[in-house]
Amino acid sequence: MTEPMTRVVKLGGRAQSADSLAATIASAWNASKAMCVVHGGGDEISALQRKLGGEPKFAGGRRVTTLEDLDIIRMVLSGVVNKRLVSQFNAAGAPAVGISGEDASLIAAKPLGISEFGYVGMPVSINTSLIETLWLAGLLPVVSPLATNAETPGTALNVNGDDAAAAIAVALGADELLLIADVEGVLDSSGEVIDQLDVDEARALIASGIAVGGMAAKLEAAHAALAGGVRAVRIADIDALGESGRGTFITLATVGAK
């Protein structure tokens, strides 16, 4: 009997509005029983920040986060978004459990740079036993990407969802990391989907300004996942969960290159 494919799926905030989301996640879960979902929710965080009199700021595709912003991010990601997704997935037939990266120190992170990013972290360790325990119980983990601060225990850091998903995929030895966006894949300068990108080509897209903001962060996370041993990384839309050839495949080097 073959082992099921282990997948880590990152759901961007805008991708969560797809009508087919819950059914597609449930179908993918029931096909493998070894899947973990990490979600974002950037637009909703920004909306609440503005309602409370603030203004979102970003650096390199990552949200600059003040101490006050951490509570907003907890409310939106670990509260509203996480529980809404859990409810939708359960209703569609996937027995989902919502957790935060702060739970049982699932994600421990170190500050990326307080002066530039504020209270934003890069994962340094993952407590895979929490995810594996949920899998053994037949449950789908749905993760809000906040983290415990490895340098200052008892405090939290905001972690970009793509960075969190990549770190979890590496720690689990995942067969695939699927970064789901609201576009079909990485787009070239004419708006066409690129079927495959190696790391050097991805860096060139970032340097040229073709891949910016959230897409640049996805490409960087893809590199980290591949370097850490994840077998396959794709950037695609929600339909890629059921179509193995859909989206942009990211590789460490061009196939056939010497």
Q: Which of 12, 40, 41, 42 is catalytic?
A: 42
> 32: which DSSP letter?
H
Give how far the C-alpha of residue 136 lies from the chain's centroid of Cα atoms, to the nearest Å: 22
Please identify which residue in the block is written with the tokens 């989907």.
Answer: 193
* Residue 3 C-alpha from the chain's centroid: 24
Respond yes or no: is residue 10 known to be catalytic: yes
Has 13 been annotated as catalytic? yes
The active-site residue, picked from 10, 12, 98, 163, is 10
Closest CA to 163 of 200, 117, 121, 130: 121
Decide if 110 is catalytic: no
Distance of CA 196 to the CA centre of its chain: 20
Point out the catalytic residue in the list 121, 218, 237, 247. 218
Q: Tokens 């934003």 identify what position?
A: 120
Active site residue 162: yes
Q: 185 catalytic, yes or no?
A: no
- Choose, from 69, 162, 163, 198, the residue flagged as catalytic: 162
Which string of DSSP letters, residue by residue, matches 77-136?
A: IIIIIHHHHHHHHHHHT--EEEEETTGGGSEEEEES-HHHHBSBEEEEEE-HHHHHHHHH
CA 82 – CA 103 distance, rounded (Å)? 13
Distance CA 198, CA 58 (A): 26
As annotated, the active-site residues are 10, 13, 42, 162, 218
